[in-house]
Amino acid sequence: MKISLMKKLSIAILIAILGSIALTSFISNYTVSQKFKEYLIDEHKSKENDAIKIIEDLYAKQNNFTNTNKDEIQRYAELQKLYIEVRDLNDTTLYSSGNDYLKQNNHMGNMMMGSMMKNFSGMNLGEYTENKYPLSINNKNVGTIIIGYFGTSYLSSGSVTFMSTLNHSFLLSAVIALVFGLLISIVISKGISKPIINITKTANIMRAGNLEVRSIVNTNTKEIDELSNSINYLAETLNDQEMLRKRMTSDIAHELRTPLTTLKTHIEAFIDGIWEPTPERFESFYEEIERLTKLVDNLRNLAKLEQTNLNLNKSEVNISNELEKIIDSFKPLYIKENYELNEIIEPEITTILDKDKFKQIVTNLLSNSYRYLKENGRVTVTLKKENQNIIIKVIDTGIGIPEKDLPYIFERFYRSDLSRNKNTGGSGIGLTITKAFVEAHGGKISAHSKENEGTTFTICFPA
Ligand code: ADP
């Protein structure tokens, strides 16, 4: 069975409150009772001691007990609700306070005590008890004092009221704490569950296919705020991916359609006898087929690249020299088009990497720059070491990349409309492969660009 977060939190808070009230009242009740009992026993002991002292004083004055004025003992016995009897050595009763008043009072006392005081164990509450004490004068035993009492005589009505008030206040504070706890638990659990419910609603809308919704929650709980941000980030990423997926399908269709249409119309013309099949025409067929093959090869390579961890064949490479060599190999191409290709290369920079992959990385970037240059264009390649990083930049003065396309150029088959219009023959996966190679070396690649001004690609390898 699933319970809602709000119910769960409220129940947990209430249980915690009830538990702590029960525990506190039990502990305080127990300790107070214990102390109270000790206090009452001491009180009773001192009552008995006082009675003994009075009797001994009276006895000592007359040296016997027969003609003594026993009013004082009688008053004391009645006041303290004690039964007092004095016997001589022959066990003959010399004085007895009589116990009628004890019986009368006892009934009331028992009622007042109620069940609450039953835990005063060891005090014989409600039962009649007698204690015997020697009557000694000048250290000589002359008789026995018997002091009797009902257990209730321990308790004055004040003490009973005290204990009952204590228990009532525990009960009252329990009720107040419970009401407060209930209110607080509702406020806290609402504060937590409401934004979570909102986020869940947003996630459900996304699940239904609407990736434009965003979760807006008003919360000061850090984790919930983070959850909301993550959901929004997820929606944004999914939205982008969805857009890229759609674009990619139409891009691939476009890439395939162009050569296929050319081939189809040409062959139709042959069949209809409109066109003579000349070697030049077969040559253009071959080029189209070549383009298709390249596209399929690229697709296969990309699939391989994504499936497996790249196997790098690493060795120590002098990348200053390596970069010079690659740039030199591009120079004839550039010169032919009247382009400029410059280099600013820090000498003797060496690092450990896969030489072939490094070559492909630079080649891809230089081919792109060449492809997207404008008339009298210029490309500059720089290499330097900076804070334990090797930084390579390829800076061109080409057509640039529109701002809206810049975040996606490393995605598979993504091509800016500018490059599409230029009909360069690219297929939009060169940069995807380049990025995969750079990252396999633990490096990073980024692009900055301004439309119609040029583009800079920066690669950063850890040295
Ligand atoms: P392509 O085969 O189309 O060149 P890439 O993956 O190499 O594919 O590049 C993706 C897209 O990035 C290109 O289609 C182009 O729009 C843009 N691009 C890459 N390099 C440059 C550059 N140097 N100048 C302008 N645009 C570039």
DSSP 193-249: HHHHHHHHHHHHHHHTT-TT---------HHHHHHHHHHHHHHHHHHHHHHHHHHHH
Distance 415 CA to ligand 1 centre (A): 6
The rounded mean pLDDT for the chain is 84
Q: Is the CB of residue 456 less than 8 Å from the CB of residue 448? A: yes
Quick one: pLDDT at residue 292?
Answer: 86
In 3D space, the residue among 462, 436, 459, 136 whose CA is nearest the CA of residue 302 turns out to be 436
- Tell me, what's the pLDDT at 302? 79
Tens digits of per-residue pLDDT, 48-78? 899 898 888 888 777 766 666 678 888 888 8
**How many structural domains is the chain composed of?**
2
pLDDT at 153 over 70: no
**pLDDT score of 354:** 93
Candidate of 339, 365, 367, 368 to mutate for ligand 1, largest count of ligand atoms within 8 Å of Cβ: 368
Residue 301, domain member (yes or no): no
% pLDDT > 90, the chain: 32
Q: What integer pLDDT is reported at residue 370 of this predicted model?
A: 93
The predicted structure's pLDDT at residue 460: 96
Q: Which of 399, 401, 448 to mutate to test the pocket of ligand 1 (most atoms within 8 A of CB)?
A: 401
Ligand 1, pocket-test mutation among 297, 299, 395, 415, most atoms within 8 A of CB: 415
**Closest residue to atom 21 of ligand 1, CA basis:** 368
pLDDT in tens, 202-225: 999 999 989 899 998 888 889 999
Q: Could you tell me the distance, in angstroms and rounded to a whole number, from the CA of residue 428 to the centre of ligand 1?
A: 7
- Using DSSP, state whether 310 is helix, strand or coil: coil
Is the pLDDT assigned to residue 393 strictly greater than 90?
yes
In this structure, is residue 377 part of a structural domain? yes
**Distance in Å, CA 430 to ligand 1 centroid:** 8
> Whole-angstrom Cα distance, residue 433 to residue 364?
9
Identity of the highest mean pLDDT range in 2-16, 190-204, 291-305, 406-420 = 190-204
Q: How much is the pLDDT for 345?
A: 95
Rounded to 10°, the helix 355-371/430-440 angle is: 150
Asked whether the predicted pLDDT for residue 46 surpasses 80, the reply is yes
| pLDDT value for 276 | 85
User: Which pLDDT does position 114 carry in this prediction?
Assistant: 40
Indicate the pLDDT class of residue 306, thresholds 50, 70 and 90.
confident
CATH number at residue 145: 3.30.450
pLDDT single digits (tens) 337-371: 899 999 999 999 999 999 999 999 999 999 999 99
Contact 249, 410 (CB under 8 A): no
Q: In the block, which residue shows the tokens 């980024």?
A: 446
Give the end of a domain, one of 176, 200, 234: 176
Q: Within 6 Å (CB) of ligand 1, which residues are found?
A: 368-369, 372, 396, 398-401, 409, 414-416, 419, 426-432, 455
Question: How far is the centre of ligand 1, averaged over its atoms, from the C-alpha of 419 (Å)?
Answer: 7
Question: Which atom of ligand 1 is least distant from the CA of 399?
Answer: 25
Give the domain-ending residue among 143, 176, 209.
176
Q: What is the CATH number of the domain that holds 410?
A: 3.30.565.10
Any idea how long the chain is?
463
Query: Cα(374) to centroid of ligand 1, in Å?
Result: 14
Question: Which protein residue has the closest C-alpha to ligand 1 atom 8?
Answer: 428
| Nearest CA among 421, 361, 440 for reference residue 394 | 361
pLDDT digits (tens, 9 = 90+) for 80-129: 888 888 888 888 888 888 866 665 554 444 444 444 344 443 344 457 78
With respect to residue 95, please indicate whether it lies within any of the assigned structural domains. yes
167: buried, middle or exposed (CB in 10 Å: 19+, 13-18, 0-12)? middle
Ligand 1 mean position to 457 CA, how many Å?
Answer: 11
Asked whether residue 392 carries a pLDDT value surpassing 60, the answer given is yes
Q: Residue 347's domain spans which residues? A: 310-462
Rg of the chain's alpha carbons, rounded to an integer? 52
Q: How confident is the model at residue 26 (pLDDT cuts 50, 70, 90)?
A: confident
In a domain, 192, yes or no: no
pLDDT of residue 108: 45
Ligand 1 geometric centre to CA of 319 (Å) = 24
The answer as to whether 224 is a domain residue is no
* Domain end (from 176, 203, 221): 176
Please give the pLDDT value at position 157.
Answer: 59
**In a shared domain, residues 169 and 315:** no
Asked whether 441 and 435 are in contact (CB, 8 A), the reply is: no
Q: Please give the number of the atom of ligand 1 that sits closest to the Cα of 428.
A: 8
* Within a domain: 210: no
pLDDT of residue 78: 84
Q: Pick from 247, 419, 427 the residue to mutate for probing ligand 1's pocket: most ligand atoms within 8 Å of its CB.
A: 419
Q: Please report how many Cα atoms fall inside a 13 Å half-sphere around the Cα of residue 131, on the Cβ side.
A: 15
The answer to whether residue 419 scores a pLDDT higher than 60 is yes
Ligand 1: which of 252, 301, 372 to mutate, judged by most atoms within 8 Å of the beta carbon?
A: 372
The yes-or-no verdict on residue 266 having pLDDT over 90 is no
Q: What is the DSSP letter of 276?
A: -
DSSP assignment of 45-92 equals: HHHHHHHHHHHHHHHHHHSSSSSS-THHHHHHHHHHT-EEEEEETT--
Residue 261: exposure state from Cβ atoms within 10 A (0-12, 13-18, ≥19): exposed
275 domain-assigned: no
Residue 453 belongs to a domain: yes
